[in-house]
C-alpha cells in the first residue's frame, strides 16, 4: 500500500490532469471549436472546474495533509516535497473558502461571456457585452468576500495570478514606472516617423512560415508544440511536451509578427518546466508575472534587438520583397522600435505599453469597488487614454473591448504584464552577468545558452517558490523597476 505522500501525489496528479484538460477546453474553444458549441462547452468547463474544486477541498486531502505534518517538518524547506506540501496547504486553504457553486458559476460565466465578448467586439457594441461584464465583476465581488483577512479587496484577485503580492506594492512599482515613463514619452513624442513600410501587404502564409523558422531557431523540442492562428494570441500548455502557440497574423501590418516571439517566450517556459515534477502543482509555472517576464524577454530584449534582425531580416526581406527590398536593416530596426501612442495594448511599443497596463489596473480596482459604473466604462476608458497617451478612441473595439480578459473572467491578471516587463530586464541583466554579451550571441543566431540559462535559473523551479522568491533565485533580488526604466531610457531616450 502506498504511503500518505504517494496517495496525496496521486490525487494531485489527477487534479493537475483535469487542469490540463481545462486548458485544452479553452484552447480548443479559441482555436478549433465550432462556434455553436459554446453553450455546451461552458457546461463542460464548469464541470471540470467544479471537480477540481471538489477534489482539492476533499476530506481525503485534508486528512492526508494532517497526517503528513510531521514528515513536512522533518524535510529540508527547499526540497521538492517540502515545497509541494507547503504549496498544497496554501492552495487548499484558499480553495476551501470558496463555495463550490461560486467556483462553478465563475467558470460557466467566463466561458459564456467570452463568446458574448467576441460578438460584441465584432459589432463594436459595448452594450452587448455590458451585462456579462457586470456579472463577471459581481461574481468577483462575491469571490473577494470569501476572504476576510486581506488588506484590500484587489489583493484577493491578484493572488490568483501572482501569489503573495500585495496591491499596495504593485501600486508603488507602477508609480515608479509612471514617473519616468510619462516624461520619456513626452521627450520622444513628435519625433519624425519613418515606418510606412511596416504597413502594406504581408500575406499570412508567409508570416506563418517565418514564424515557424523563428520558433525553430529559438528552439523548442520537435514534435512537442504547434502554432495556430487565433483572434487573440496566447500560448498554452495542454500537457507535458504539448505546448500550443497561437498568434494573429495581420495581413496589413508586419508588427503583429512580434506576438510570435512573445508567445514563444511563454511556450519555452512551459517547455522547460521540471520534468520530474510533471503532473504535480510544483511542476507548473510560478506565476503569470514570471511567465510574462519570459515572453517580454523574447519579444523585446531579443526580438527588438538589432542582433536578432541581423539574423532574421534577410529572411523577412525575402518573404516580403515588395515591402522591404529597399529598406535597410537599421531603418527597419528603428521603425519597429518607434515609440508612438496607439490604442491597442498588444501592439503597443515598449515605452507606452506600461500605461496601457496601468489603466486597466486602475479600472479593475474601481469596477470592483463600484466607484465606476460599467455603463460609464467606455467613456472613462477613452478619457484616460487621452490623459495618459494623448490619443482619441473612436471605436470600442479599439478601446474597452479590445482585450479578452474580462470576458474570460480574468480580473487581476493585467498587472502581471507590467510586473513581467519589469522583471524581464532584471532577468536579462542576470543572464548577461553569467553569459557575457547576450546581444552578440543573439546576433550570431546563438540562442541555446540563453535558453539553457533561463531553464536553469528560472524555469526549473516550477512553482516550488513564491514569485518574488523565484525572481531572487534567478537575479539575487526581488522586483526593482530601476533596471527596466534605465533600459527604456537608454534605448529610447
Question: Binding residue for a second copy (CB under 8 A) from 47, 248, 255, 305?
Answer: 47
| Residues, the chain | 493
Q: Which residues contact 322 (CB under 8 A, 6 or more apart)?
A: 200, 201
Question: Whole-number minimum distance, CB 203 to a second copy, in Å?
Answer: 17
**Residue number, 47 or 478, with CB nearest to a second copy:** 47
415: nearest Cα among 168, 137, 150:
168
Indicate whether 239 belongs to the interface with a second copy (CB under 8 A).
yes
Count of residues engaged in binding a second copy, rule: CB under 8 A:
39
The reply on whether position 405 binds a second copy by CB under 8 A is no
* 225 counts as binding a second copy under rule CB under 8 A: yes
Does 36 engage in binding with a second copy (CB under 8 A)?
A: yes
The set of cell numbers assigned to 302 is 531579443
- Catalytic residue set: 263
List 240, 310, 345, 429, residue binding a second copy (CB under 8 A): 240
* Closer of 53 and 405 to a second copy (Cβ): 53
Question: How far, in Å, CA of 173 to CA of 474, rounded?
Answer: 19
Q: According to CB under 8 A, which one of 105, 160, 169, 241 is a site residue for a second copy?
A: 241
- Return the residue of 3, 6, 17, 328 that touches a second copy, per CB under 8 A: 17
Nearer to a second copy, 18 or 65 (CB): 18
Stretch binding a second copy (CB under 8 A), from 34-42, 175-183, 328-336, 466-474: 34-42
146 scored as a contact of a second copy (CB under 8 A): no
CB of 226 to a second copy, least distance (A): 5
* Contact flag: residue 135 with a second copy (CB under 8 A): no
Q: Taking CB under 8 A as the rule, does residue 43 contact a second copy?
A: yes
Is residue 278 a contact point for a second copy (CB under 8 A)? yes
Beta bridge partners of 234: 246
Can residue 236 be called a binding residue for a second copy (CB under 8 A)?
Answer: no
Q: Is 105 in the site for a second copy (CB under 8 A)?
A: no
* Part of the chain binding a second copy (CB under 8 A), chosen from 68-76, 216-224, 248-256, 348-356: 216-224
User: Long-range CB contacts (< 8 A, 24+ apart) of 448-457?
Assistant: 448/219, 450/302, 451/218, 451/219, 451/268, 451/272, 454/268, 454/269, 454/272, 454/294, 454/297, 454/427, 455/272, 457/427, 457/430, 457/431
- Give yes or no for residue 208 binding a second copy (CB under 8 A): no
- Alpha-carbon distance of 477 to 459, in angstroms, equals 17
User: Which of 359, 354, 348, 344 minimizes the C-alpha distance to 399?
Assistant: 344
Q: 202: alpha, beta or left, given left = phi > 0 and alpha = psi -120 to 50?
A: beta
- Which residue, 22 or 139, has its beta carbon nearer to a second copy? 22
Q: Determine, following the binding rule CB under 8 A, whether residue 110 of this chain makes contact with a second copy.
A: no
**DSSP annotation string for 382-415:** HHHHHHHH------GGGTTTS-STTTTT--S-TH
Residue 182 within binding range of a second copy, rule CB under 8 A: no
The correct pick among 67, 72, 242, 489 for binding a second copy (CB under 8 A) is 242
Examine residue 279 and tell whether it contacts a second copy (CB under 8 A): yes
Please give the biggest Cα pair distance in the chain.
73
Among residues 403, 289, 423, the alpha carbon closest in space to that of 346 is found at 403
Give me the long-range contacts of 340-343 (CB less than 8 A, separation at least 24): 340/193, 341/185, 341/189, 341/389, 341/390, 341/391, 342/389, 342/391, 343/385, 343/391, 343/393, 343/398, 343/399, 343/402
Task: State in angstroms the smallest separation of the CB of 109 from a second copy.
Answer: 16
Q: Answer whether 404's CB lies under 8 Å from 114's CB.
A: yes
Examine residue 450 and tell whether it contacts a second copy (CB under 8 A).
Answer: no
From CA 291, how far away is CA 9, in angstroms rounded? 25
Q: Does 398 bind a second copy (CB under 8 A)?
A: no
Q: Which residues bind a second copy (CB under 8 A)?
A: 13-14, 17-18, 20-21, 24-25, 28, 32-37, 39-41, 43-44, 47-48, 50-51, 221-226, 238-244, 278-279
Amino acid at each position: 500500500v502506498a504511503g500518505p505522500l504517494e496517495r496525496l501525489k496521486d490525487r494531485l496528479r489527477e487534479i493537475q490532469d483535469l487542469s490540463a484538460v481545462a486548458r485544452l477546453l479553452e484552447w480548443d474553444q479559441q482555436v478549433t471549436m465550432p462556434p455553436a458549441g459554446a453553450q455546451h462547452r461552458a457546461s463542460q468547463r464548469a464541470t471540470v472546474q467544479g471537480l477540481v474544486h471538489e477534489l482539492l477541498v476533499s476530506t481525503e486531502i485534508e486528512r492526508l495533509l494532517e497526517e503528513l505534518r510531521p514528515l513536512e517538518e522533518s524535510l529540508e524547506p527547499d526540497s521538492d516535497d517540502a515545497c509541494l506540501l507547503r504549496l498544497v496547504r496554501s492552495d487548499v486553504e484558499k480553495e476551501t473558502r470558496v463555495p463550490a457553486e461560486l467556483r462553478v458559476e465563475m467558470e460557466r460565466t467566463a466561458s459564456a461571456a467570452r463568446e458574448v465578448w467576441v460578438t460584441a467586439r465584432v459589432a463594436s457594441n459595448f452594450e452587448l457585452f455590458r451585462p456579462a461584464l457586470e456579472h463577471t465583476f459581481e461574481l468577483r465581488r462575491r469571490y473577494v468576500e470569501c476572504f476576510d483577512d486581506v488588506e484590500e479587496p484587489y489583493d484577493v484577485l491578484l493572488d490568483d495570478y501572482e501569489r503573495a503580492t500585495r496591491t499596495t506594492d504593485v501600486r508603488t512599482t507602477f508609480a515608479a514606472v509612471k514617473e519616468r515613463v510619462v516624461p520619456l514619452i513626452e521627450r520622444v513624442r513628435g519625433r519624425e516617423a519613418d515606418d510606412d513600410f511596416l504597413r502594406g501587404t504581408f500575406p499570412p502564409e508567409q508570416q506563418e512560415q517565418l514564424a515557424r523558422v523563428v520558433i525553430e531557431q529559438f528552439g523548442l523540442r520537435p514534435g512537442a508544440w504547434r502554432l495556430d492562428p487565433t483572434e487573440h494570441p496566447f500560448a498554452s500548455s495542454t500537457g507535458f511536451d504539448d505546448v500550443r502557440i497561437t498568434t494573429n497574423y495581420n495581413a496589413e501590418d508586419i508588427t503583429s509578427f512580434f506576438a510570435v516571439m512573445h508567445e514563444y517566450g511563454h511556450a519555452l517556459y512551459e517547455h522547460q518546466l521540471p520534468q520530474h515534477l510533471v503532473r504535480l502543482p510544483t511542476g507548473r509555472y510560478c506565476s503569470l508575472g514570471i511567465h510574462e517576464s519570459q515572453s517580454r524577454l523574447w519579444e523585446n530584449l531579443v526580438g527588438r534587438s538589432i542582433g536578432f534582425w541581423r539574423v532574421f531580416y534577410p529572411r523577412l526581406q525575402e518573404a516580403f520583397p515588395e515591402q522591404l527590398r529597399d529598406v535597410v536593416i537599421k531603418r527597419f530596426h528603428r521603425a519597429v522600435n518607434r515609440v508612438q501612442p496607439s490604442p491597442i495594448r498588444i501592439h503597443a511599443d515598449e515605452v507606452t505599453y506600461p500605461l496601457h497596463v496601468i489603466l486597466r489596473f486602475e479600472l479593475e480596482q474601481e469596477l470592483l469597488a463600484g466607484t465606476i459604473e460599467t455603463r460609464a466604462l467606455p467613456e472613462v476608458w477613452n478619457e484616460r487614454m487621452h490623459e495618459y497617451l494623448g490619443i482619441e478612441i473612436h471605436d470600442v473595439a479599439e478601446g474597452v473591448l479590445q482585450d479578452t480578459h474580462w470576458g474570460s473572467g480574468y480580473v487581476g491578471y493585467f498587472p502581471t504584464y507590467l510586473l513581467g516587463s519589469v522583471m524581464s530586464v532584471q532577468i536579462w541583466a542576470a543572464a548577461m552577468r553569467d553569459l557575457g554579451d547576450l546581444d552578440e550571441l543573439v546576433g550570431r543566431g546563438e540562442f541555446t545558452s540563453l535558453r539553457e540559462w533561463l531553464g536553469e535559473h528560472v524555469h526549473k523551479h516550477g512553482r516550488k517558490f513564491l514569485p518574488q522568491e523565484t525572481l531572487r533565485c534567478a537575479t539575487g533580488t526581488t522586483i526593482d523597476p530601476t533596471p527596466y526604466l534605465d533600459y527604456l531610457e537608454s534605448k529610447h531616450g
